[in-house]
Structure formats: C-alpha cells, structure tokens
Amino acid sequence: MLRDLEAHLAEHNPVVYNHMMGDQGFTMEATFSAQIITAFLYDLDFDLAMRIFDLFLLEGEQAIVDLLIGTIELKTEKILTLKEIHLMNYLRKDLIKECFAENTITGLLPNTRVSLHYLKEFKKI
C-alpha cells in the first residue's frame, strides 16, 4: 500500500513527493505507516473512525490509499509550506482531521467504487 501511495505521488503530485521525500528526507514508512496499519482509527473520534472502517470493509485496502491521496491532493499548498517536524506532525495527526472538517467523504474520494447510495449515508463530520 505504501508503494502504491509513493508511486501515485511520484507520478501525479511530484511537487509534494519531492518536498516530502527529497527536501525533508521522509520515507513513506515513517510518514504514513500508522494511518495504514490502523486505517486512521487511532487519532480520530469514534464516529469518523467507524465510517472510515466501514469504507475499508467495503472497498478494501485501496480505500485507505485513496483516502491518503485525496487528503494530500486537497492540502498540497499547506503541505508545501511546512517543514521538518511540523510537516511530519501535520501528516500524521492533523491532515485527516482537517480534511474531514472541511469535506465529505465523497469530496475526498471522488473516484470511489462504493455506491452513491451508501456514500449518501456519510454525513459531513
């Protein structure tokens, strides 16, 4: 999953990829392994965590990768302004919370395969 995320960023968002991997010297494992291992459940409130876990159960692990891609694309400008520990903390803890505070699940996953009927049940949190 981390390789998929890295390949996608390298191809579709090279500016963020270079900022994170080159300029800051981050690795995908150090940056996003906690989100992937826990499916974002660790730092989120219960309601949002369960919605993401439902999506994971319906879509599989690709939903987690797609969610990370969507959040990174949405917050590209902010990501590029942060450096070192501030960037790492933002990516690990605040990125997903901030994105869900501003968007719905459909806004973060425009290409999801989940039926629109199910996605309508996801309320803006």
pLDDT tens for each residue of 52-106: 888 888 888 888 888 899 999 999 999 999 999 999 999 988 998 899 889 877 7
Task: Tell me how far apart the alpha carbons of residues 31 and 43 are, in angstroms, rounded to a whole number.
Answer: 15
Cα(23)–Cα(26) distance, integer angstroms:
8
Question: Quick one: pLDDT band at residue 39, thresholds 50, 70, 90?
Answer: confident
User: Could you give the percent of the chain with pLDDT greater than 90?
Assistant: 38
Domains and CATH numbers, the chain: 2-120 (1.10.472.80)
For position 122, what pLDDT does the model report?
Answer: 52
Question: Could you tell me the pTM of the whole model?
Answer: 0.83
Question: Which has more pLDDT, 107 or 50?
Answer: 50
